A and B are shown apart, each in its own frame.
Chain A
Amino acid sequence: MEYKQLVAFIKKEFRHILRDPRTMLILLGMPIIQIILFGFAISNDVKNTSIAVLDPGQSVTAQRIIKRLDASEYFNVTYILSHPKEMTPLFQEGKIQMALLFNDRFDDRLFHTGDASIQLLTDASDPNQASMVAKYATTIIASCQQELVKELRIPMQIIPEIHMLYNPTMKSAYNFVPGVMGMILILICAMMTSIAIVREKEMGTMEVLLSSPLKPSYVIFSKVIPYFALSVFNLVTILLLSIFALEVPVSGSLFWLTMLSLLFIGVALSLGILISTLVRTQVAAILISGMVLMIPVMLLSGMIFPIENMPLILQYLSNIVPAKWYIRAVKLFMIQGASAKYAIKEFAVLSVMLVVLIFISLKKFKDRL
């Protein structure tokens, strides 16, 4: 008798989801689209980028830098310019993506004043690509400078003048797959679960259900199970896509990756239930899950911005974001191919979070209005 109720309510929940095809399409399509989008970003790797150089002084150091750039796998020096004007058509025709302009007394300045600058001009019509190119070039120039300091034993500084801001998205795009996994799971489990429960409050159906002998925990359970199923489905899609379409390997244990994901899904679902006990309207549920979950997941989990570069206070704050621990462990398993014992800390943290969240949301869940 009891299980019949649960089955009936789970069925009902699936009906709600299936009869709202738009939402379902978004839920099932989003991971695919995100993976493909980020997969596209991967193909933007800097390799054999054509550059032009202008070195009117033909100084020794400048030539050394140019050779070094050309020798790297990242750049090909395809044009030697004699006047800055020549650069514009090359950029416009897309023949080069970067130009290096040296001062005509480059060595002179470097050895006498101790600092000289190189102008780095990049084609910023694709800002991500441009900043990536600039970053690679700067790194090569910097290593050249270090060698010079060692060889000549005089303090000097080469300043590459780039007119672009440091773009942190230059981290290896491999990192996006774990990030997307964390985000999708939080979104579906926490946001959709909380919306589904709050909708019952908003529509007034919760009032009728609570006044019936139906156990309130069944209401919750019947919400959790369909979204759990959806999350598992999405998880499988993401993994298949990243392995076969993006060729991101799962170099570690697939078993532990799955266990970790199930644990994280549990955390996200209990977060969703917790949110649903705190708010009364669907709009509030969306706002809270958006503000409290999505933004921290994107900003504080290390998905976009490296945690190491954050101010200390944000680094501390990032510790309470479940997705941070999840994403970190996923990276361990997927990319670094680590075994489970290296992720014990992440497992432990997520388990504690799960227990605490379930405890709080059970305490908070009322069987009255």
Chain B
Amino acid sequence: MKIKVSHLTKAYGTTDALQDISFQVPDGQIFGIIGPDGAGKTTLFRILATLLLPNSGTATIAGFDTIKDYKKIRNIIGYMPGRFSLYQDLSVIENLELFATAYHSNIRENYHLIKDIYQQIEPFNDRMAGKLSGGMKQKLALCCALIHKPEVLFLDEPTTGVDAVSRKEFWEMLRKLKDQGITILVSTPYMDEASLCDCIALIQNGTFLHIDTPGKIIDSFPKRLYAIEGDQRTQNLQQLRNNPYIDSVYLYGDRMHLTFKEDPDPHLPEVVLVTPSVEDCFIWLMKKDSYE
């Protein structure tokens, strides 16, 4: 196991940021932490990147303890924080060189690793990092986190605020890095990115709702999920909420998703059975969680 986390807890004052978090990531996997802002993702990343001390629990990266052996861990991880955290008044190449030096490395040594990504920003080598577009900044930040060939990569919300096309590209880059044997822990608020991970944890209010492969999480959806098309969605939604057969109904893209208490309402012939998505599972787990 490359990353082992057991019973991690962290509180700020009286608010619990993380409560009893445990999970493991095998070598060379992409592990996704999926949940909304404020769920505790950043706190978890900071603890694993040896930047914060947990209140209790332990975590090891490649066998090194995040508290005792933090100096060793800092040599083998690459960390990309949620905010763009490079020097805005330094150029692309200056940033890259600086971070390479910080890791006792240089650009040539691991050029092969960043080549694909770096080539896209190389034409802007002399541009100040602060003047790059969102997608470019994100690529540069990834290059800086990779320049020393880390064993484990921590990416905290790398795709937030990035458009759908850049997000797709970014995930393609992550797949390639995985093929190079790098273990990746990535967080995202976008549920549709979940299916691109080998394994995911759904996080809400500092606790993991569920940990599994995306496939198994979908299989664990306890009910049959139906979809209904509807142009007049607003009006329909209210009507359906009052329908005694229906357990839950919510908007989903160009349709509505619904579950029935037992059997489908025979008066709604237009419903079709659909496969749930990770998002459906998250919604269901959140509801279950708030009832308990």
Contact = CB atoms under 8 A, between A and B. Distances in A.
A234 B101 CA distance: 31
A212 B81 contact: no
Contact of B103 (A20, A210, A213, A368): A213
B85 A12 contact: no
Report, as a range, how many residues of chain A touch the other chain.
20 to 34
B90 interface: yes
A209 B81 CA distance: 11
Interface in B72-126: 74-75, 77, 79-81, 83-90, 94, 97-99, 101-104
A369 interface: yes
Most buried by B among A203, A204, A208, A211: A211
B52 interface: yes
B98 A9 contact: yes
B85 A210 contact: no
A204 B85 contact: yes
Given A368-B51, A368-B52, A16 B87 contact: yes
Q: Is the interface of A mostly helix, strand, loop or mixed?
A: helix
Given A213-B75, A368-B52, A5 B104 contact: yes
Contacts of B101: 4-5, 8-9
Contacts, number: 78
A74 B83 CA distance: 67
Contact of B94 (A12, A20, A203, A208): A12
Contacts of B53: 368
A216 to B, nearest CB: 11
B85 A207 contact: yes
B175 interface: no
Contacts of A4: 101
Interface string B139-151: 0000011000000
A83 interface: no
Nearest to A6: B101
A368 B50 contact: yes
Interface string B43-81: 000100111110000000000000000110011010111
Nearest to A2: B104
Nearest to B103: A212
Report, as a range, how many residues of chain B touch the other chain.
20 to 34
A15 B75 contact: no
A369 B46 contact: yes
A4 B101 CA distance: 8
B104 A1 contact: yes
Interface string A1-35: 10011001100100110011000000000000000
B98 A8 contact: yes
A214 interface: yes
A204 B83 CA distance: 7
A15 B88 CA distance: 11
Contact of B102 (A5, A204, A368, A369): A5
Nearest to A210: B51
Contacts of A204: 81, 83-85
Given A5-B104, A204-B83, A211-B74, A20 B89 contact: yes
Contacts of A214: 102-103
B90 A15 contact: yes
B52 A205 contact: no
B50 A208 contact: no
Given A5-B104, A12-B94, A12-B98, A213 B51 contact: no
B51 A12 contact: no
Contacts of A211: 49-51, 74, 77, 79
B52 to A, nearest CB: 6
Given A209-B102, A369-B51, 19 more contacts: A5-B104, A9-B102, A15-B90, A16-B89, A20-B89, A203-B85, A204-B81, A204-B85, A207-B46, A207-B81, A208-B79, A208-B80, A210-B50, A211-B49, A211-B50, A213-B71, A213-B102, A368-B51, A368-B53
22 contacts: A5-B102, A8-B97, A8-B98, A8-B101, A12-B90, A15-B94, A16-B87, A20-B89, A203-B87, A203-B88, A204-B84, A205-B85, A205-B87, A207-B51, A208-B86, A211-B51, A211-B74, A211-B77, A212-B103, A214-B103, A368-B50, A369-B51
